[in-house]
Amino acid sequence: MSTSLQLDHRHIVLGLSGGIACYKAAELTRELIKAGASVQVVMTEAAAAFITPVTMQALSDRPVYTSQWDAREANNMAHINLTREADALIVAPASADFIAKVANGLADDLLSLLCLARPVERVPLLLAPAMNREMWAHPATQRNVARVRADGALVLGPGSGDQACGEVGDGRMLEAHELCDEVVAALQPKLLAGRRVLVTAGPTFEAIDPVRGITNLSSGKMGFAIARAAQEAGAEVTLVAGPVHLPTPRHVRRIDVASAQQMHDAVLPLAPSQHVFIATAAVADWRPASYAQRKIKKDGSATAPALELAENPDILAAVARLPQRPFCVGFAAETDDLAKNAREKLARKNVPLMVGNIGPSTFGRNDNALLLVDARGERQLPSSDKLNLARELVREVSMRLEPLP
Ligand code: CTP
């Protein structure tokens, strides 16, 4: 499965309640379908005042449901039937009024009926609030939001910024692509619920002078995919990233660093409180022994300046030496002899799991192939998208963890 088909074979019920953000639901429908899902749209009467069912039918390629009395259903029970085949129910936009209804278990129209009648264990309910900032901040709304959360609903955002009313603040509905990512995340098994996971990613940059440095070709994509997969699996994730140009995965705490020493200094204090440490960063083994405060200039002679190097701290080995150490996973970036090199690093760094990959054939690319090496043996994860591999690695790690107390 490619990352573009994250919702293949998934059926999503998309509910719209009334609000100007209904226009974004059109884009969300397209995003969900692009991701491989089938989408059944359900609209409240108020939603139909903002966007027509005709538009939503055309985009979703299915007739839209607007009434609990819809006679198209043979048993006349649209409120039951629609969620029985669904993998998730997302209401976007969810108005203040609609959230109040859900919070109180009211069910006087089809969409609120669906929320109440859905099989709670099997069909997650995602609510994407969209309202004026004063409405969002009102204690009644905050009380209702807390209540729907306590009842198991996922409240997405809201975002902050310019509002249709001309005011600026909290209450904007998240963008369609963000909501689509939230649906994908909601459908992942929560294998790391209650765990804290620390990930390093990307290259490091070892400055020679103010304009030059030593680095490598790591793009950070594998580590970012692992951070995303761990977060989607329910973990609280911290990502320590070297210099890369990648967006931070949703709900992941990111700490940016440049050099190996900075990465070491960011990781070590956090490590003892983590359940898992995954070291994907391609840490530079050496740094210039001294940093030139000014740009090193050509001096007219034929001899190039000699660059003396000093060894960087081994971050993974240092974490593995901690008395209270997390479950440590290393990545071995090799050019050849993957199994032998990975096994040798497993022993040398004293970690329970080492993941081998061929550096030059994966750096910067969206796919990779992994070889998992541990005391019990080896497992090959064949070439695939980095996010798919990350999810598989998360599964492998989760199976090796001690149960939570
Ligand atoms: N690593 C680290 N700190 C370093 C060097 C490596 O934390 N200073 C981690 C990497 O993040 C990776 C693992 O150790 O998880 C193996 O990194 P790799 O560069 O493949 O191995 P090295 O120990 O650097 O060995 P070599 O360069 O000889 O292959």
Put residue 96 in one of left, alpha, beta given phi > 0 → left and psi -120 to 50 → alpha: alpha
Pocket lining: 201 vs ligand 1, CB cutoff 6 Å: no
Place of tokens 């190996």: 260
328 is catalytic: no
CATH 3.40.50.10300 fits 196-294+306-399, yes or no: yes
Q: Which pLDDT tens digit goes with each residue over 133-159?
A: 999 999 999 999 999 999 999 999 999
What pLDDT, on the 0 to 100 scale, is given for residue 2?
52
3-state secondary structure of 237: strand
Domain boundaries for CATH 3.40.50.1950 within the chain? 11-186
Ligand 1 mean position, distance from CA 242 (Å): 14
Nearest Cα to Cα of residue 136 among 49, 44, 21: 21
Ligand 1 mean position, distance from CA 179 (Å): 37
Q: Which ligand 1 atom is at minimum distance from the Cα of 332?
A: 20
22, 115, 165, 180: the active-site residue: 165
Which residue CA neighbors atom 3 of ligand 1 most closely? 314
Q: Which pLDDT tens digit goes with each residue over 357-384?
A: 988 888 888 999 999 999 999 999 999 9
Pocket lining: 338 vs ligand 1, CB cutoff 6 Å: no
Gap between the terminal Cα atoms of the chain = 35
In angstroms, the CA 394 to CA 355 distance is 12
Q: Which ligand 1 atom is at minimum distance from the Cα of 260?
A: 8
Pocket lining: 260 vs ligand 1, CB cutoff 6 Å: yes
Pocket lining: 283 vs ligand 1, CB cutoff 6 Å: yes
Pocket lining: 134 vs ligand 1, CB cutoff 6 Å: no
In angstroms, the CA 184 to CA 225 distance is 14
- The answer to whether 40 and 82 are in contact (CB under 8 A) is yes
* pTM, entire model: 0.94
Domain boundaries for CATH 3.40.50.10300 within the chain? 196-294+306-399
Is the Cα dihedral 161, 167, 172, 175 positive or negative?
Answer: negative
CATH number of the structural domain 11-186: 3.40.50.1950
Ligand 1 mean position, distance from CA 331 (Å): 7
Ligand 1 mean position, distance from CA 236 (Å): 25
Q: Which pLDDT tens digit goes with each residue over 158-190?
A: 999 999 989 999 999 999 999 999 999 999 999
